[in-house]
Chain A
Amino acid sequence: MASIEIKNIVKQYGDGFPAVNDVSLDIADGEFMILVGPSGCGKSTLLRMIVGLEDITSGDMIIGGKKVNDLAPRDRNLSMVFQNYALYPHMTVFENIAFPLRLAKMPDDEVRRRVTEASDVLELKDHLERKPANLSGGQRQRVAMGRAIVRQAEAFLFDEPLSNLDAKLRGQMRTEISRLQRRLGITTVYVTHDQTEAMTLGDRVCVLRKGKIQQVASPRELYEQPVNLFVAGFIGSPPMNFLPATPKGDRLETPFGEIVLDQKRAAAVAGHDLLLVGIRPEYFEDASLVDEAKRPLGSVFTARVDVTEWLGDSQFAYIPYEAPESIQTHLRELSRELDAEELRTQAIVSIDSTSRIREGREAQFWLDSRKVHVFDPETGDNLTRDAEAGAELTRMATQDRVEQIEEVRAASVGAA
């Protein structure tokens, strides 16, 4: 297993367009790194340069301390998982996992050792002598993973591996990949455009936009302390709401009334004219359902609800608002860049599923002002980001990972 260091990597295709533009990223040994971003942001190109499928225009690719720029894919000893999971009908599950080693002429006892170990991790032990014909969908996928495991590659690489599976199997495999990565402690790079996959799988997530890194952080840091509008808008589902806001002393004037800012954030936005305030759906609540203790921590406003959506365990309300033309233009551009649906100036707010708020009526909402962020619409910068708080979130995630890997390694030493 190995670390992957990406140093000032540039990829220009034939037409001179930089698909990846000066990207530097350190992926630690054993880390699960996600590359995410909208279509065309360069995530697949970056992965392909790690694998050796694309020539690197400039910069260095270092795997396990060794520069691999000029190495053929095979000599990098990486494993692209799921690229092929053809199952061979006359071979047992054991042989279906073992064949890459057979082709490499590995001695029998070593083959047996590796396959047995992999089948332990994958819970395929009881099936090893069976033929693959009667395996379930999930078991088939695990045989494919077994092939990747027995190679003992430096890292696992995945390029949108779940996009062709049905929803049920996709959820199942997501859990499986995550569990496996933890148990093996193997460095993993995973490309997806699906932010739910990104948030649930990664130790850290690298958000790309037009070939450039926007932010590399733990899922929680991305969610709570995004560096800019792009990251804030990309991460989270339903997405963050962006409302026009004008600073007035320690307050912001918005279509949903005045929002009070703490001193630090008020200072950060002072001197600006028209800004955007970003509020996640779950920072709202039906005002009648907020307990008294919490109420003073936010503000209350009245608005007309366009549509409500009741999902059983949760409920969303859609509230239209007015925005000046300049803000609408910025928001339209953002949603186009994010591959999002055509933007409508309406907020999506999450309310308790027991709320009696109804469509077409006026209602009172409460808004938690502690966690809102304020963005400069021109530069996209998050003016209120708390870098220290963000770094702390990522530090905590890293610590969790290191502890988990140490546990696994200790356990396997103990077992050996």
Chain B
Amino acid sequence: MRFLFRPPAHEAAELLSLPWDQPLEEWDEQLLLEVPQRGISRHVVRFVASGRHVYALKEIAERLARHEYALLSHFEEEGLPTVSVLGICVDRPGQQEAILVTRYLEYSMSYRWLFSSPRAEHSAELLLDTMVELLVRLHLAGVFWGDCSLSNTLFRPDAGALAAYLVDAETVERHPTLSAGQRRYDVDLARERVGAELLDLQFGGLLPEGIDPITTAEGLPPRYEALWEEVTAEQVFGADEQQWRITERLQRLNDLGFDVGEVELITSPEGARLRVETRVAEPGQHRRELLRLTGLEVQERQARRLLNDIVAYRAWLEQKTGKPVPEPVAAHRWLAEVYQTVMAAIPPELAGRLAPAEIFHEVLVHRWLLSEKAGRDVGTEEAARSYVANVLPRTPPEVTTPSVIAGRATGR
């Protein structure tokens, strides 16, 4: 047998002791983790915990495993939103297929759970928008997906919204750019697959009453076209409106979740033509800033939310002490006095249902609601107590992220 992985992959060593020579189907249940809300798949896909990490293992023909491994590695380098690949195991005895190993995307949720969720705030619309954003991003990067579906997309809560990740690159083709025909075909495949998956949920009695699979799926192509147009369109305007038009466009792209790489402005007597080159990477400005200040790794919208809270905390500190407080000091104190206090309020049995940063975001939302009702600011501590008692338990235990479950089993 041969293992191929790209350093650094300290974790790879932990995995070597697994029974790679056996068919994945027959692995001892003791080694595996149930992930009840996973998507449907043609291949055998199973999950294992090793050390503090959880992995997804997929048994698949060697040619495809190599293809998927190479693509996912490139995507990650480019900052495209995909699962992270660890490596592959090939040359297994008895002509068995290869195994592709990806890192489990913690706190991700499949559409199956999102739709049957008792917290129905994630509407079908939000889900489609998130998916379309992912598809546009991939198309900008010259990625033809060939199998865009709800099962092949993972969703992560991100400060009240969702972020989408590609999970299955088996059918992906990489091109320098995509033709209009390729994009349309990909969108059409997506429409059909989303429609089929929703119909399937409906047949299984898992789809909420108000959602119609066919209309929902039909909504995908126009949403895609609209976003693609916004992101790629060339604009023409008069010379006098240049300044604010550029600002407006960049702001709009940021709001849509895209960063701009380069702006090209061609002026002529008739006016100016504006072309923007949209970055394909996930936006990461706030994420990097938060990491620098606190060492916390979270998603972009969550980061924006947490940074705002740090700013507010700093103002409060300055007011209280009557002295300027340097940003790093404020961030440090916020981490210890605010963020960690909230995290400490979560009892072990509720841990892992949502990502810590998402919990923090929800506590802030809750605090706002309580304060409004009370007619005074109730403060983060009180809000956290109430949230843990009344809100968090409504997130069902099935969505607890696998690494936390694995940690519990081994007493960590």
Are A52 and B185 CB-contacts (below 8 A) given A95-B199, A164-B61?
Answer: yes
Q: For the complex, give the distance between the alpha carbons of A100 and B42 in Å.
A: 19
List which A93-134 residues lie within 8 A (CB) of chain B: 95, 99-100, 102-103, 105
Are A53 and B185 CB-contacts (below 8 A) given A103-B196, A164-B63?
Answer: yes
Q: Is A19 an interface residue (CB 8 A)?
A: no
Q: Is A358 an interface residue (CB 8 A)?
A: no
Are A74 and B189 CB-contacts (below 8 A) given A85-B42, A95-B203, A164-B63?
Answer: no
Q: Tell whether, in the assembled complex, residue B61 and residue A55 are in contact, meaning their CB atoms are under 8 Å apart.
A: no
* Other A-B pairs, 12, CB within 8 Å; known A51-B185, A72-B180, A99-B199: A14-B177, A54-B179, A84-B171, A86-B40, A86-B193, A86-B196, A87-B40, A87-B42, A89-B40, A91-B200, A103-B214, A103-B217
Q: Tell whether, in the assembled complex, residue B214 and residue A105 are in contact, meaning their CB atoms are under 8 Å apart.
A: yes
B149, B188, B191, B206: the one contacting A73 at CB < 8 Å is: B188
Q: For the complex, give the distance between the alpha carbons of A91 and B180 in Å.
A: 33
List which B198-223 residues lie within 8 A (CB) of chain A: 199-201, 203-204, 206, 214, 217
Are A88 and B199 CB-contacts (below 8 A) given A53-B185, A73-B184, A103-B217?
Answer: yes
Nearest residue, chain B, Cβ from A75: B184
Q: Can you offer 9 A-B residue contacts whose CB atoms are under 8 A?
A: A54-B182, A72-B184, A73-B185, A84-B147, A84-B193, A88-B197, A102-B195, A103-B191, A105-B214
Q: Is B124 an interface residue (CB 8 A)?
A: no
Q: Tell whether, in the assembled complex, residue B192 and residue A91 are in contact, meaning their CB atoms are under 8 Å apart.
A: no
Q: For the complex, give the distance between the alpha carbons of A85 and B189 in Å.
A: 12
Which residues of A lie under 8 Å from residue B201 when comparing CB positions? 90
List which B324-363 residues lie within 8 A (CB) of chain A: none
Considering only CB atoms and an 8 Å cut-off, how many residues of chain B contact the other chain?
34
Shortest Cβ distance from residue B95 to the other chain A in the assembled complex, whole angstroms: 8
Q: For the complex, give the distance between the alpha carbons of A84 and B176 in Å.
A: 24
Q: For the complex, give the distance between the alpha carbons of A73 and B180 in Å.
A: 10
Q: Tell whether, in the assembled complex, residue A52 and residue B149 are in contact, meaning their CB atoms are under 8 Å apart.
A: no
Which residues of A lie under 8 Å from residue B149 when comparing CB positions? 86
Q: For the complex, give the distance between the alpha carbons of A244 and B181 in Å.
A: 49
Are A89 and B200 CB-contacts (below 8 A) given A54-B181, A72-B184, A103-B214?
Answer: yes
Nearest residue, chain B, Cβ from A83: B146
Q: Is B260 an interface residue (CB 8 A)?
A: no
Which residues of B lie under 8 Å from residue A164 when comparing CB positions? 61, 63-64
Q: Which residues of A contact B (CB under 8 A)?
A: 14, 51-55, 72-74, 83-91, 95, 99-100, 102-103, 105, 163-164
Q: Is B151 an interface residue (CB 8 A)?
A: yes
A84, A89, A102: the one contacting B189 at CB < 8 Å is: A84
Shortest Cβ distance from residue B166 to the other chain A in the assembled complex, whole angstroms: 16
Q: Tell whether, in the assembled complex, residue A53 and residue B181 are in contact, meaning their CB atoms are under 8 Å apart.
A: yes
Nearest residue, chain A, Cβ from B144: A53
Q: Tell whether, in the assembled complex, residue B176 and residue A14 are in contact, meaning their CB atoms are under 8 Å apart.
A: yes
Shortest Cβ distance from residue B32 to the other chain A in the assembled complex, whole angstroms: 20
Which residues of A lie under 8 Å from residue B151 when comparing CB positions? 86
Q: Tell whether, in the assembled complex, residue B184 and residue A74 are in contact, meaning their CB atoms are under 8 Å apart.
A: yes
Are A91 and B193 CB-contacts (below 8 A) given A52-B181, A72-B181, A105-B214?
Answer: no
Which residues of A lie under 8 Å from residue B177 when comparing CB positions? 14
Shortest Cβ distance from residue A412 to the other chain B in the assembled complex, whole angstroms: 28
Shortest Cβ distance from residue A392 to the other chain B in the assembled complex, whole angstroms: 40
Q: Tell whether, in the assembled complex, residue B200 and residue A103 are in contact, meaning their CB atoms are under 8 Å apart.
A: no
List which B160-190 residues lie within 8 A (CB) of chain A: 171, 176-177, 179-182, 184-185, 188-189
Shortest Cβ distance from residue A167 to the other chain B in the assembled complex, whole angstroms: 10
The 4 nearest A-B residue pairs measured at CB = A90-B204, A88-B200, A90-B203, A73-B185
Which residues of A lie under 8 Å from residue B171 when comparing CB positions? 83-84
Which residues of A lie under 8 Å from residue B182 when comparing CB positions? 53-54
Q: For the complex, give the distance between the alpha carbons of A73 and B179 in Å.
A: 11
Q: For the complex, give the distance between the alpha carbons of A382 and B44 in Å.
A: 51
Q: For the complex, give the distance between the alpha carbons of A236 and B250 in Å.
A: 60
Nearest residue, chain B, Cβ from A167: B95
Interface centre among A53, A74, A91 (most CB of B within 10 A): A53
Q: Tell whether, in the assembled complex, residue A88 and residue B188 are in contact, meaning their CB atoms are under 8 Å apart.
A: no
Q: For the complex, give the distance between the alpha carbons of A95 and B214 in Å.
A: 14
Which residues of B lie under 8 Å from residue A14 when comparing CB positions? 176-177
Nearest residue, chain B, Cβ from A52: B181
Q: For the complex, give the distance between the alpha carbons of A55 and B181 in Å.
A: 7
B61, B176, B195: the one contacting A99 at CB < 8 Å is: B195
Q: Tell whether, in the assembled complex, residue A100 and residue B192 are in contact, meaning their CB atoms are under 8 Å apart.
A: yes
Which residues of A lie under 8 Å from residue B196 when comparing CB positions? 86, 88, 99, 103
B42, B147, B179, B199: the one contacting A91 at CB < 8 Å is: B199
Q: For the complex, give the distance between the alpha carbons of A39 and B189 in Å.
A: 27
Which residues of A lie under 8 Å from residue B192 when comparing CB positions? 100, 103
Shortest Cβ distance from residue A135 to the other chain B in the assembled complex, whole angstroms: 12
Which residues of A lie under 8 Å from residue B214 when comparing CB positions? 102-103, 105
A55, A86, A90, A103: the one contacting B179 at CB < 8 Å is: A55
Shortest Cβ distance from residue B141 to the other chain A in the assembled complex, whole angstroms: 16
Q: Tell whether, in the assembled complex, residue A53 and residue B179 are in contact, meaning their CB atoms are under 8 Å apart.
A: yes
Are A90 and B200 CB-contacts (below 8 A) given A55-B179, A100-B192, A103-B217?
Answer: yes
